[in-house]
Chain A
């Protein structure tokens, strides 16, 4: 049940919200509503996988109960046994349900290369929605508890509400212990939170269901039959896809944050104006932040610090983290390639940074150069252009497709041209969608922020009028067939 589904907007969400607040600020009742609504929401995407989702909360809670007993140093006594058990359960489930087919295909392919016919039986397992997201969410808490960084959840209900909080089931943001802490206290009604929730929801809804869906429909043809389109269409489609994927996921995250506000809860930021980043390291601090933070906290840090396998080898650690990120995104070699490319570039950027700092130490002129407009623009352009190019393997299903699209970028395609639309209104809508991301990012600048603040000071009737116009625009231009949700597949 998508957030744009009338069932969700008109029945499910209002009913859950009403019940949540009607029962008063009592932790157990509020969490009960969140658990039941979370399970209903999960089942709406396919009830068959619900037992797996329910079991995840029960099994992990049981493991964490086992971790409550601590030694004199405050560390859980049974962590040596229970942590591996929990990690194996969670990641094993993820590997089995999401990656089994990938491993089978890879094994069969390798065997075929070696001249061995290895047709493995095709095993079709249910893939629970959002499994990549809620598995990491659970594993994060489990590790924190096992290492004594957090207390184990106080009740099964609190923990189940944390796992099953419906705004983030599908695609995060991947919550950490702070959400669990919020779930352990009563939430009180706040008009401010409702205002923020409404604002974030409308913004995210527009990004995801108008901009992303429109751009997706527009560029679909170029990606499915690249050989028919000319070079400029390839560049335009790739640019539009970059905007699309951002609006798709950032829009979803904003909706999730907005919905959480209605329940008096706060979810972490997942995107922080990534197209303002001037280097790739900064980019990853702004793009899918909750995943990046998770991977850095639970993969990178243990690898490169202490007695980690890659102790002190920071560039190698960065490569491994992005490779993991690629594999996490999807069970195909294209995602692995995408992750490897980003890992390599992040490692190179790290080396470049070290090299440049050396230059700066030798001569202050390099510091001045780094602060120049030319350097800033060049760095920004290279960063963003690289990210856009890297989306070719992310978007295309195979290496052949990547090669075909790459060839099309440089004139190896056909003669068909991607046009903005067949009428003034569709052209205007398309231009607005393309410009939306730019305008959104401008709001993060000082001047843009002031413009938004100025708007916020308008009298309520005028602001209501503007929001009303935005809703009318959505009514008219939001395609009936909801846009494909790119991040739902992960």
Chain B
């Protein structure tokens, strides 16, 4: 029989447990009331706390791709979602162009290539019994990128299990390596998806509950918020300078795997005779330090080098001054809906004008 403790007092406590909580009825009552407390608190917190909204994820994009035959494939990190209004506009034309955005949170070239190799290629190259492509419309490929893509400082890419793996990928890794912090990312993301209505489950370790409760009880002054914003921006600048330290010869951005992944992506899309556009994505203008500007310049030149090698074009939203500080969310590279709208206008009027025209009357594509 199990014992609680051999310490005299603790043993006495154990006896109390035995005597007081001895019946199944009593135990079930405790469990039921504990569960009710948690569920009730979760419901109350759900009304108070504002959690980050659920985004269009890689798995959503792959599912949509399976059930469509897109003309345009847009691949990029989380900020690639900013092109959703643009994609919608293309689709709304008659007959329209289907543009499929495949975003992967915190992406890098390695992640994009993994997606292409393990998720997208099988859909793009799928053939029917007669050997004809099941999806034959794809003509355009857009890679949305910024300097972080070359700098995977979070190897081995926890975003892959969290956002891009399927159950088979997870089980394969589990059998090979056991349960690891890396493949746990798959489970963590599943929990987030299953617990989509639970504030407590989604907030675990993220402290939105604490922050929002504090704000309810004692809201901060406008000055405090401004100061906090300044500290946040300074932090982003500092972190960004570290993340995308492209210019230093000892930088982790000089490791070859990201560049090799980029080349594999470009080789694949060029072999498929797609019209390829690389969009250089901007970051919050007020966070740009001279170091970051230099890094962005270095990145643009690097990407132009690849563009020349593979015969693709590079367009930059970094220099275009299309999006301003006010168009960004409270972070470094994600836009508010009105910022996304600006990007749409920019794309339709400028670099993707051809797609706009095609969408308006592109019967030849069908």
Mark A residues whose CB is within 8 Å of B. 1-2, 5-7, 43-47, 190-200, 257, 260-261, 264-267, 269, 272-273, 423-425, 443-446, 448-449, 452-453, 456-457, 460-465, 467-469, 471-472, 475-476, 478-481
For B35, list chain A residues within 8 Å (CB): 464, 468
Chain B min CB distance to A407 (Å): 30
CB of B320 within 8 Å of the partner chain: no
* Contacts of B34-70 to chain A: CB distance below 8 A: 34-38, 41
Interface-located stretch among B7-15, B136-144, B271-279: B7-15
The answer to whether A191 and B16 touch across the interface, beta carbons within 8 angstroms, is no
User: What B residues does A273 contact at CB under 8 A?
Assistant: 7
CB within 8 Å for A44 and B12 given contacts A191-B23, A460-B33: no
Stretch at the interface among B83-91, B204-212, B241-249, B251-259: B204-212
In chain B, what residue has the closest Cβ to A187?
B1
B188 at the interface (CB under 8 A from A): yes
Partner of A460, one of B30, B179, B210: B30
CB A18 to nearest CB in B, in angstroms, measures 16
Residue of B nearest to A260 (CB): B2
B34 and A193 contact, CB distance less than 8 A:
no
- Contacts A444-B7, A449-B13; is A43 near B41 (CB within 8 Å)? no
- From B27, B37, B191, name the one whose CB has the most chain A CB atoms within 10 angstroms: B37
**11 interchain pairs (CB within 8 A)?**
A191-B27, A192-B22, A196-B14, A197-B2, A266-B3, A269-B7, A456-B17, A456-B21, A465-B33, A472-B38, A478-B204
3 closest A-B pairs (Cβ-Cβ)?
Answer: A464-B33, A468-B37, A480-B205
Distance between Cα atoms of A44 and B214 in the complex (Å): 40
A475 to B187, CA, bound (A): 17
**How far in angstroms is the closest Cβ of chain B from A452?**
5
Task: Give CA–CA (A44, B17) in the complex, Å.
Answer: 34
The residue that B29 contacts in the complex, of A6, A425, A464, A471, with Cβ under 8 A, is A464
Using CB atoms and an 8 Å cutoff, list the residues of chain B in contact with chain A: 1-7, 9-10, 12-14, 16-18, 20-24, 26-27, 29-38, 41, 174-179, 181, 184, 187-188, 191, 200-201, 203-207, 209-210, 214
- B204 pairs with A1, CB closer than 8 A: no
Q: Given contacts A266-B2, A425-B214, A476-B209, is CB(A443)–CB(B30) below 8 Å?
A: no
Closest partner residue, chain B, to A47 (CB atom): B178
Closest chain A residue to B184 by CB distance? A5
A425-B210, A453-B13, A464-B36 known; A272-B204 Cβ under 8 A: no
- A47–B13 CA distance with the chains assembled, in angstroms: 41
Please determine whether A265 and B12 come into contact, CB atoms closer than 8 angstroms: no
A449–B38 Cα gap in the complex (Å)? 27
The answer to whether A456 touches B20 (Cβ under 8 A) is: yes
Q: State which of B9, B200, B209 has its C-beta within 8 Å of the C-beta of A448.
A: B9
For the complex with contacts A456-B20, A460-B33, 19 further pairs of A-B residues with Cβ separation under 8 Å are A5-B179, A7-B187, A44-B179, A47-B178, A190-B1, A196-B2, A196-B17, A198-B31, A265-B2, A444-B9, A449-B12, A460-B29, A468-B41, A471-B34, A475-B38, A475-B201, A475-B203, A475-B204, A476-B200
Hey, which chain A residues are within 8 Å of B10, CB to CB? 443-444, 449
Residues in A neighbouring B6, C-beta threshold 8 A: 269, 272
A424 to B214, CA, bound (A): 9
Give bound CA distance, A44 to B180, whole Å: 8
Residues of B within 8 A of A446 (CB): 9
How far, in whole Å, are A192 and B21 apart by their CA atoms in the complex? 7
Which of A257, A265, A461, A476 gathers most chain B CB within 10 Å?
Answer: A476
Provide the bound-state CA to CA distance between A452 and B2, in Å. Answer: 20
Taken together as a complex, chains A and B put the C-alpha atoms of A49 and B24 apart, in Å, by: 41
Given contacts A195-B21, A265-B2, contact A468 B36 (CB under 8 A): yes
A461: chain B residues within 8 A (beta carbon): 29, 33
Residues of B near A196 (CB, < 8 A) are 2-4, 14, 17-18
Q: Which residue of A lies closest to B198 (CB)?
A: A475
Hey, which chain B residues are within 8 Å of A423, CB to CB?
210, 214
B5–A269 CB distance below 8 A: yes
Whether the Cβ atoms of B205 and A481 lie closer than 8 Å is yes
Chain B hits for A425, CB < 8 A: 207, 210, 214
Are A464 and B30 CB-contacts (below 8 A) given A1-B178, A7-B187, A195-B21?
yes
Separation in Å of the A45 CB from the closest CB of chain B? 5
Contacts of A47 in B (CB 8 A): 175-178
Q: Are B204 and A266 in contact (CB under 8 A)?
A: no
Closest-CB distance, B3 to chain A (whole angstroms)? 5
CB distance from B251 to the nearest CB of A (A): 23
Q: Within the assembled complex, what's the spacing in Å between the Cα atoms of A475 and B202?
A: 10
Specify which chain B residues have a CB less than 8 angstroms from the CB of A448 in the assembled complex.
Answer: 9
- Who on chain A is nearest to B3 by CB? A266
- Give A453 to B16 CA distance when docked, in angstroms: 6
Cβ-defined contact, A1 with B205, below 8 A: no
> Considering only CB atoms, which chain A residue lies closest to B177 in the complex?
A46
Residues of B contacting A462 in the complex (Cβ-Cβ under 8 angstroms) = 33
| Given known contacts A46-B178, A464-B29, A468-B41, A475 and B200 CB-to-CB distance under 8 angstroms | yes
Report yes or no: B21 in contact with A193, Cβ–Cβ below 8 A.
no
Alpha-carbon separation in the docked complex, A193 to B204 (Å) = 30
Which of chain A's residues have a CB closer than 8 A to the CB of B29?
A: 460-461, 464
Contacts of A266 in B (CB 8 A): 1-3
Q: Hey, which chain B residues are within 8 Å of A1, CB to CB?
A: 178-179
